[in-house]
Structure 1
Amino acid sequence: MNLKNLFILASCATVMSSCKNFKLFGKKSEKSDVTGWNYNDKNMGGYQVAREKEQRTGPGLVFVQGGTFTMGAAEEDVMSDWNNIPTRKTVNSFYIDRTEVANIHYREYIYWINNVFDGDEFLSVRDGALPDTLVWRSELAYNEPLVEYYFRHPSYNYYPVVGVSWQQAYDFCLWRSDRVNEKALIDKNFINKNTLKNIQGQGSESFNTKSYLLGLTTPTPGPGVRSKKNPLKNPNGTPRSQVTFEDGILLPAYRLPTEAEWEYAAIALVG
């Protein structure tokens, strides 16, 4: 056996040994591999570790397996512009909407904004969320019916929303993240479902994921908080009302896809 083969064999053995120590091939231990302390044991500090599970898919999303692809013009540039030079891009796995955000979805967002921020002091907030319907106007076309009816009329409910700026789309993602996580906490009975019956005038008191995780807001607890079946525990073993991100209940924030993610999903015919 030459030196090169010996080195490869030693490297593989080291990796296998490391995997065995970290129990990648066996049942996950209920104690720490670095301290020996038990997890989820009130008699040993009470450090809570949620059961390992896959991230659930958020509403309207589809999973896209990451990979490598050629981004840019893959055919001859007959005009010699060279403004889209092909490059190899590696994209991590991500989630993307199955369809574009439709008028009905954005009107849902507008409805929430108008009700939660209903005071005169929030007029700029309400106006700032509205899409620009004048984008339909063109010097060489008569698009006034689209200017007047496209965003509001039920016939266009599931047509893609237009006239939305980058900032408006970013704000929509923030709002969507908060509503999805608020619904997740209600479904798990950590927030009282009656809080959704009257959202009028909540303003800055409305549910916000980051404020909740930082403990800056305390929503009305649901019946699951006091239940003996509550899987969340304090260090002393009593039921815990505050959900943390480590519990695996809340979803990561929605965001706008990158250009590479957008092209990759389109090439893969996903979404």
Structure 2
Amino acid sequence: MRGYLSLTVLVALCVSVASCGKKGKSSRLPDDGQLHGVAPTANKSMNPPRNMVYVPPGTFHMGPSDEDISYNYTTRNRQVSIPGFWMDATEITNNDYRQFINWTRDSLAFKILYGQGITNFDDTSAVDWKKVAQIKWDRNTVEKLNELNLAPDNRLYGKPDIDPDKIQFKVEYFDLAAAARRDNAGLPRSNFIRKYPQKIYPDTLVWIRDFSYSYNEPMTKRYFSHPSFGNYPVVGVSWRQAVAFCYWRTHYQNSFLAKHKFAIDGDYRLPSEAEWEYAARGGLTNSMFPWGNPYLRNKKGCLLANFKPGRGNYAEDGGFYTVPVNAYWPNQYGLFNMSGNVAEWTGSYFYEGAYNFMADMSPDIRYEAKDSDRPREKRKVVRGGSWKDVSYFLQVGTRSYEYQDTAKSYIGFRCVIDLAPKMKK
């Protein structure tokens, strides 16, 4: 396979050559032997994505802006350049992630009530969302969803309910990195299409599991399910679940664009650690924090982020655990809580010596480990520090990691998307 041409672009090329334009005028090129060019599509571009801000291209010094107190030397300072991209202004909230879960649940319910069930993984039948909108989520309906329900032994007081482990999103994507390898040239396209089911419900038990000899049961019971926490960052989501969210968000957006005859645009994804750090700095050179240097309070004495101040006065910054995603002041790019509240997954693989050999143009190392790989190969870069961390982890140049198949009560995420330059306002 020597190149990648999407089916949408191919169809658009055919339509642009063969179709008729306005007022019956043919869109065929004049047969004059001259070069006129053919636009890939006549569809208009999508609108700027909701609740995202544009991070302009630029160059910055990636790495620590202060002493490397751990002396690990895993973050040597170096100059790199980053192209422009769009980024979520806030961390993904419980309400945002619940939309993903409900969409997946509803699509599975449709296949049980109106289709052939959900046991066939390769079923590609379309979901009729008009019928889905008519589903009444009462006890009678839930009792019909046997394939989604908890087994009788797992129910409280015999109440039928949906089993969170059975809410699985079918991830599908084209592996561009594999297709680009020279030794794969000429292979059929099907060799690079990846499909797998992914459980997506957050692990709400992390609030208890992460802290031994600590009473956090109320957070387990309420944090994801109670409306009061709707605008708080989602936690208990593994790296693999965050990646699945990005694939779903792309699919959800592209379905709308195709339906309304917009041009299909970029894919949502997790930011690389270089993109994350560049965005977190907000255009400030060699600053320790998104708001500058070197203090954690403003001139009025107010703390500037949600973390573990002093010797552990968790409530001093205004939040005992997490806080709403738009709390505190944004940085100069309009991004909230790039330091503190929850640490954030990036798409990058964590390797101690990565800064020594990465390119200086949009640097990144990506590797999606298999379940059979060694734990070392499952490490993903985590940035930003959280509500339970000391201020060192709030520094924009501090690196940390967690394993891609684990979830924590202090790690969330936000998405980025690459769009055409003319999208910039």
TM class by shorter-chain length? 0.5 to 0.7
Write out per-residue CA displacement over residues 36-83 of structure 1, whole angstroms, 9 at most, x where no aligned residue: xxx942665998524698774223221110111111111123443323
More displaced 10-residue stretch of structure 1: 168-177 or 117-126? 117-126
Distance 2:46 2:84 in 1: 12
Paired positions, count = 174
CA 1:47 to 1:84, structure 2 compared with 1: closer, same or farther past 3 Å?
closer
Q: Given the superposition, is the C-alpha separation of residues 57 and 125 from structure 1 closer, same or farther in structure 2, using an over 3 Å criterion?
A: farther
- Alignment map for 1:155-194 (pairs within 5 Å): 155-186=228-259, 188=260, 190=261
Q: Which runs of 5+ in 2 are unaligned?
A: 1-25, 110-116, 120-146, 149-164, 169-198, 283-330, 336-425
Gap regions ≥5 residues in structure 1: 1-38, 191-247
Rounded Cα–Cα distance in structure 2 between residues aligned with 1:140 and 1:87: 42
**Alignment counterpart, residue 255 of structure 1, candidates 264, 269, 272:** 269
Aligned partners of 2:230, 2:56: CA distance in 1, in Å? 30
How do residues 1-271 of structure 1 correspond to structure 2 at under 5 angstroms?
A: 40-41=27-28, 44=31, 48-49=38-39, 50=41, 56-118=47-109, 119=117, 121=119, 126=167, 128-137=199-208, 138-186=211-259, 188=260, 190=261, 249-268=263-282, 269=331, 270=333, 271=335
Quote the Cα distance in structure 1 between the aligned partners of 2:46 and 2:100: 25
CA distance in 1, matches of 2:234, 2:54: 23
Displacement after TM superposition at 1:142 (Å) = 1.3
TM-score by length of 2: 0.37
- Kept in 2, the 8 Å contact 1:91–1:261? The answer is yes
- Aligned equivalents of 1:55 and 1:92: distance in 2? 20
Q: Which structure is higher in strand share?
A: 2
Contact 1:58 1:251 in 2 (8 A): no
Change (3 A) 1:44 1:157: farther
CA contact (8 A) 1:117 1:125 kept: no
More helix by proportion, 1 or 2?
Answer: 1
Letter in 2 for 1:126: I
Q: Distance in 1 between matches of 2:265 and 2:206?
A: 34
Contact 1:72–1:84 (Cα < 8 Å) also in 2: yes
Query: Which deviations, in whole Å up to 9, do the C-alpha atoms of 1:187-236 show, x marking residues without a partner?
Result: x3x5xxxxxxxxxxxxxxxxxxxxxxxxxxxxxxxxxxxxxxxxxxxxxx
Report what 1:212 is aligned to.
none
Q: Distance in 2 between matches of 1:167 and 1:67?
A: 30
Task: State the percentage of identical aligned residues.
Answer: 36
Q: Distance in 2 between matches of 1:108 and 1:52?
A: 28
Structure possessing the higher radius of gyration over alpha carbons? 1
What is the TM-score with the length of structure 1 in the denominator?
Answer: 0.57
Q: Which letter maps to 2:86?
A: Y
Please identify runs of 4+ aligned residues in structure 1 that moved more than 6 A.
Answer: 51-55
Provide closer, same or farther for how the CA distance between residues 105 and 96 of structure 1 changes in structure 2, counting only shifts above 3 A.
same
Contact 2:53 2:88 (8 Å CA) reproduced: yes
Counterpart Cα distance in 2 of 1:91 and 1:113? 34
Q: Is the 8 A contact 1:131 1:162 kept in 2?
A: yes
